[in-house]
């Protein structure tokens, strides 16, 4: 039986404000749910308004404090405005989770230039814009936490995914640099590096390749691929006061699997 790490008796984020980007995907919605169940006021952010509202509506039915902020993370001004909106409403921003991401496939000679540019705009540049907006708020408050979603492939490149691999490697480097620079201000910055997680993005990839979830389960040493709730549990732990000495880490969550 797979444990459900989304179920927590703790309310580690009571009275805290958490902003999560990329909330329409499986991992993003699970992150929102985890923080909401632990007492946070959550801002669910994505560029797709109907899907974002669907995530929020379900959580509100369960009594969670969740609001939506719809904007495009590739727009620097929109990133700054969204962070400022959260700070203006609550007077604080305790946790920023940079989870928005895209995966464009291809090796260097087959990848379209537009896909390369989009990969860096969403996976890397958005972190630059959002963190630049959030850091002064956290510094003035005496601290905060930032968790970035990188990838196992940012540490161990998979074939024919050069834009995704390199952009996620940049997320790891960005995380480590930010941690070194702002730890003295009480701001901890970490990254999660998921392997194969059962998300809509993974389902799309399986449909393209002709493989199945069962095929992937066979190559993961623990016997199965991961679940979004398990990534969300790791994100919440890294953001919480239970991880006060973890700063600048890039934590793999891949069930001991080598790159598929």
Residues recognised as catalytic: 164
**Residue pair 16/39 in contact by the 8 Å Cβ criterion:** yes
Cβ atoms < 10 Å from Cβ of 109: 6
| Separation between Cα atoms, residue 68 and residue 49, nearest integer Å | 8
Sheet holding 65-70, edge to edge: 65-70, 41-46, 17-21, 95-98, 144-149, 187-194, 250-253
CA 117/CA 181 separation, integer angstroms: 27
Phi, psi values for residue 110, rounded to 5°: -110, -15
């Amino acid at each position: 039986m797979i444990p459900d790490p989304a179920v927590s008796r703790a309310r580690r984020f009571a009275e805290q404000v958490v902003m999560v980007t990329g909330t329409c995907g499986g991992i993003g919605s699970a992150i929102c749910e985890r923080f909401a169940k632990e007492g946070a006021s959550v801002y669910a952010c994505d560029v797709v308004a109907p899907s974002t509202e669907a995530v929020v509506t379900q959580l509100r039915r369960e009594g969670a404090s969740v609001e939506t902020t719809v904007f495009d993370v590739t727009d620097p001004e929109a990133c700054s405005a969204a962070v400022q909106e959260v700070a203006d409403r609550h007077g604080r921003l305790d946790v920023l989770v940079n989870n928005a991401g895209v995966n464009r496939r291809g090796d260097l000679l087959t990848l379209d230039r537009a896909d390369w540019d989009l990969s860096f705009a969403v996976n890397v540049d958005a972190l630059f814009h959002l963190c630049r907006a959030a850091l002064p708020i956290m510094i003035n408050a005496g601290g905060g936490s930032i968790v970035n979603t990188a990838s196992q492939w940012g540490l161990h490149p998979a074939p024919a995914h050069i834009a995704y691999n390199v952009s996620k490697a940049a997320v790891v480097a960005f995380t480590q640099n930010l941690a070194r620079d702002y730890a003295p201000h009480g701001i901890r910055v970490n990254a999660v590096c998921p392997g194969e997680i059962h998300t809509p993005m993974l389902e799309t990839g399986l449909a393209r390749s002709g493989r199945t979830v069962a095929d992937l389960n066979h190559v993961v040493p623990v016997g199965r691929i991961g679940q979004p709730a398990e990534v969300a549990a790791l994100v919440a732990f890294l953001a919480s006061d239970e991880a006060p000495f973890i700063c600048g880490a890039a934590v793999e969550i891949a069930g001991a699997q080598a790159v598929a």
